[in-house]
Structure 1
Amino acid sequence: MQADKGTYKFQLMSTLAERIKTARNHAKLTQKALALKVGVEQPVISQLETGKNLQSAHLPKIAHVCGVNAIWLSENTGPMTGVSAAESNISIAAQPTKSFRYPVISWVAAGAWAEAVEPYPAGFSDSYEFSEYDSKGTAFWLKVKGDSMTAPAGQSITEGTLILVDTEAEVAPGKLVVAKLPDSNEATFKKLVSDGGRLFLKPLNPSYPIEAVDENCRIVGVVVQALQKFY
């Protein structure tokens, strides 16, 4: 559909992946060329175009580089090109220019984690995921198992979600953490809370019990990002 004066080019597409690929083709850029101009690795663009990643902080920069409207690209609203009334007073904010690769590891490996462990030794992981997050220390992804962090309302982390754990991020009550309990060889994922001067590991699902944090419990790291994949 076109506006009366032919000013705007409307092109509605159902998925973000389709819109990013269309925007890149509009700019006559390869995935590698677009990644270079945006300041990310090529796999970041590839994952967005295949639907493996459903969101990115780089969308405004991608829209700017490709010469399309940021609102159309992110929300499938308005014209693909040209300046719409909604965007006439919107400027593009500075976006992160780097993407970082972190390994996806097992919960057993996370439970065995210690500061003395060499970061990413040979054979540590055969799977990696990218993130715009620049970790303070060694970081890794874990895939959430079970429904103990699936809440009926509010903050909820469902089974299958990838969580990024920073082993040197500040630990404080209210944050989501990965911890190692003495009676298990695997790590556990819970919310760290304080009550009466004591610390507890609290599931977001109220059907599961709260566990006290004592001297035998080790906080492996803080969860700094969650990523859902639908494949």
Structure 2
Amino acid sequence: MKNPEKAPAKKRALSAEELAECAALNAIYKAKKKSLGISQEKIAMEGLKANSQSAASHYLTGRNALNIEAAAVFARYLQVPVSDFSERLAREIKGISRSSESNVEGAQQPGAYYRYPVISWVSAGSWAEAVEPYPAGVSDRYEYSEYNSKGPAFWLEVKGDSMTSPVGTSIAQGSLILVDTEVEATPGKLVVAKLPDSNEATFKKLVSDGGRLYLKPLNPGYPTEVFDENCRIVGVVVQATQKFHY
């Protein structure tokens, strides 16, 4: 005797709180999508790693209840804290952060996220002379950070190994560095500068010795350069992230 086919399980109805969360999220999305240049498809494909736009739509329209993972993705793309649309999930995330051990010092609840363009080293060098740092079409790639910049900021992908050090601070080739153009450049900080004999920017540590400023690579195999009146500081590096490729 054949077993009767099981009827598909009936989908759970969302609670009033869950529906309110989705509605709040949808309102934020509608208010910010144009200025941020985002779409449901982008959030679904890139953030939620789904196969279609409907994955994002189902959360926004209240078809699916929000969970921690989805909430974090939407918060990142909309550049808002999770608590702006779900106090419930914000509390859960905070509880997980407190109870779980992490090898990343200072791990915090996902808060507001900010979007910055990834530009070329030539564009960064040109910025030093530009009146408008971000002309139309400056970049078709953007990355997110929890860092709220003081001024115009952008990402650069590190080239070469001049900032790779065998000890202490080391920034490997392929890392992304976030450059804030309004942070004060003082000795000891990592900076992006424009040298007079190059059309590209350069990434070095600003140091002082004997009353003079120098641009020093972290890799001892590269030479230190004098920072004179013809050099310009483009910005200070405030964050570095390493992307792993397998």
TM-score normalised by the shorter chain: which range applies? 0.5 to 0.7
User: Of 77, 84, 103, which aligns to 1:41?
Assistant: 77
1:38-187 aligned at under 5 Å gives the runs 39-41=75-77, 64-65=92-93, 68=96, 70-72=98-100, 74=102, 97-114=111-128, 116-187=130-201
CA distance in 2, matches of 1:158, 1:103: 20
Q: Unpaired runs of 5+ in structure 1?
A: 1-26, 45-60, 76-91
CA distance in 2, matches of 1:160, 1:228: 7
User: Residue 79 of structure 1 corresponds to which residue in structure 2?
Assistant: none
Task: Report how many aligned residue pairs link the two structures.
Answer: 173
AA aligned to 2:122 is: V
8 Å CA contact retained: 1:34, 1:65? no
Tell me, yes or no, if structure 1 residue 29 matches structure 2 residue 43.
no
8 Å CA contact retained: 1:63, 1:69? no
CA distance in 1, matches of 2:136, 2:234: 21
Bigger Rg, which one? 2
AA aligned to 2:220 is: P
8 Å CA contact retained: 2:79, 2:114? no
AA aligned to 1:41 is: Y
Tell me, yes or no, if structure 1 residue 199 matches structure 2 residue 235.
no
User: Residue 59 of structure 2 corresponds to which residue in structure 1?
Assistant: none
CA distance in 2, matches of 1:33, 1:148: 39
Q: What do residues 171-204 of structure 1 show as CA deviations (whole Å, max 9, x unaligned)?
A: 1000000001011111000000000000000000
8 Å CA contact retained: 1:109, 1:186? yes
User: Residue 189 of structure 1 corresponds to which residue in structure 2?
Assistant: 203
8 Å CA contact retained: 2:97, 2:108? no
What SS class does the counterpart of residue 122 from structure 1 fall into?
coil
AA aligned to 1:229 is: K
AA aligned to 1:220 is: V
CA distance in 2, matches of 1:173, 1:135: 20
Task: Work out which structure has the larger RCO, using CA pairs closer than 8 Å and 6 or more positions apart in sequence.
Answer: 1
CA distance in 1, matches of 2:162, 2:225: 12
Q: Which one has a larger percent helix, Structure 1 or Structure 2?
A: 2
| Root mean square deviation, CA, Å | 3.2
Q: What do residues 62-116 of structure 1 show as CA deviations (whole Å, max 9, x unaligned)?
A: 68338646443746xxxxxxxxxxxxxxxx9985731100000000000111364
